[in-house]
Amino acid sequence: MDINWLRDFVCLGRTLNFTRAAEERNITQSAFSRRIKSLEAWIGVPLIDRASYPVQLSEAGRQFLPVAQQTVADLTDTRQAIRERARGHASFQRFAALHAISVNFLQPRMAALEREYPEMRTRVISDSLTACCQLLSEGGCEFLLYYRHQDVAPILDETRFKRKDICEERLIPVAQHEAAARNGWSLPPRAGQELPYLSYDPNTFLGTVVDQTIGNRRPALDLRYMDALAEALKRRTLAGAGLAWLPEFSIRQELADGTLVRLGGRDWTATMTISLFCSPERLDNLGRTIWDQF
């Protein structure tokens, strides 16, 4: 038995799609399929009904899925507890968060909580949405912070966790003030003009939200730069390289002092919700207090 087989199966049980699950597990689809078959050989019965489309779990698969989920979570929790005892430290409060949320929203909140609870020790894992959701699902963290948007389906089985909607965050199309004025940039661009565009990787959550916001309007955007991280796009925008949709929390100062200017009307702005998730049964006393503080 390889614990990765269980992680693979949990991922497939959530996505019900071999291609998507293999991408989330960062392996080839053929390797992913072999590992699922290895798990089925170990169990002794098929866990997947491959005759149906889309793929469905077999009756045995449906019975085994919660066992696999709990086993992965228990192993992760136990490993973490052993490591913390070996280090001689109090337990860490572990947060998984998208990079943009970690830098621009979570850090100030953590600073305030640490002043109130000086005994608190925190570990923040900043990663992609898929990786963060996987951490919570597998017990690799107590808390998950991520964006939610009405037009983007969640990849997390939210019914398994408690959720608090913390606040709204907006993705605003902006450009560096001097570059926008010098080049006459506007959104949508003027007739005959192409606006240099700094884009998120299309496979990221923020990239999907921006695509949904642009929709069928298809303005004349000339793609110049692509990155998965909002902070990288912010640096390029501040350098005058073009237009980018940036989280409001990250650019409040630059908007206030005029370094960055908004392009387009409010219909070009996307509104998201920052939500906090947790597994209550994994929280210690301090963890429950932190949950209440949010």
For 62-114, what is each residue's pLDDT tens digit? 999 989 988 888 787 777 667 666 555 557 889 999 998 998 899 888 888 88
In 3D, which of 66, 26, 13, 272 has the Cα closest to residue 168?
272
Band (284; pLDDT cuts 50, 70, 90): confident
Residue 26 has pLDDT above 60, yes or no: yes
pLDDT of residue 77: 73
**Which CATH number does the domain housing residue 1 bear?**
1.10.10.10
Higher pLDDT, 4 or 183: 183
Give yes or no: residues 145 and 279 share one domain. Answer: yes
According to DSSP, the residues that pair with 272 across neighbouring strands are 169
In 3D, which of 43, 41, 44, 20 has the Cα closest to residue 32?
20
pLDDT of residue 90: 53
Residues 53 and 43: their CA atoms lie apart, in Å, by 23
According to DSSP, the residues that pair with 168 across neighbouring strands are 273
Per residue in 20-42, is it b (16+ CB within 10 Å) or e — as a string?
bbbbbbebeeeebbebbeebbee
Band (27; pLDDT cuts 50, 70, 90): confident
Task: Indicate the SS3 state at residue 97.
Answer: strand
Higher pLDDT, 214 or 128: 214
Q: Which amino acid is at 27?
A: I
Q: What is the mean pLDDT of residues 7-20?
A: 88
In 3D, which of 63, 64, 38, 36 has the Cα closest to residue 50?
36
pLDDT of residue 84: 62
> Which of 49, 69, 84 marks a domain boundary?
84
Give yes or no: residues 98 and 78 share one domain. Answer: no
Give yes or no: residues 93 and 211 share one domain. Answer: no
Give yes or no: residues 215 and 282 share one domain. Answer: no
Give yes or no: residues 43 and 174 share one domain. Answer: no
DSSP states of 261-285: EE-S-GGG-EEEEEEEEE-GGG--H
pLDDT of residue 86: 53
Residue 3 has pLDDT above 80, yes or no: yes
* pLDDT per position as a tens digit, 103-162: 889 988 888 888 988 888 888 999 888 888 888 888 888 999 999 998 888 878 888 899
Give yes or no: residues 80 and 199 share one domain. Answer: no
> Which of 60, 84, 108 marks a domain boundary?
84
* pLDDT per position as a tens digit, 219-272: 899 999 999 999 999 999 999 999 999 999 999 999 999 999 999 999 999 999
Give yes or no: residues 108 and 137 share one domain. Answer: yes
Q: Which amino acid is at 249?
A: F
CA distances from 291 to 30, 149, 235, 287 (A): 41, 22, 33, 6
Give yes or no: residues 157 and 185 share one domain. Answer: no
Give yes or no: residues 171 and 161 share one domain. Answer: no
Give how many domains the chain has, as a whole number.
3
Structure tokens at 30: 């053929």
**Which CATH number does the domain housing residue 149 bear?**
3.40.190.10
> Which of 66, 84, 102 marks a domain boundary?
84
Residues 6+ apart with CB under 8 A from 52: none
Give yes or no: residues 282 and 145 share one domain. Answer: yes
Residues 239 and 68: their CA atoms lie apart, in Å, by 48
Task: Indicate the SS3 state at residue 121.
Answer: coil
According to DSSP, the residues that pair with 196 across neighbouring strands are 222
Q: What percent of the chain has pLDDT over 90?
A: 46
Give yes or no: residues 203 and 256 share one domain. Answer: yes
Give yes or no: residues 261 and 186 share one domain. Answer: yes
pLDDT of residue 192: 85
pLDDT of residue 147: 93
Domain range for 10? 1-84
| CA angle in degrees (0–180, nearest 5) for 148-153-154 | 60
pLDDT of residue 294: 87
DSSP states of 184-229: T--SSPPTT--EEEEEE-TTSHHHHHHHHHHTT----EEEEEEES-
Write out the E strands in the chain: 48-49, 56-57, 93-98, 122-127, 143-148, 162-176, 195-200, 221-227, 244-247, 260-262, 270-278
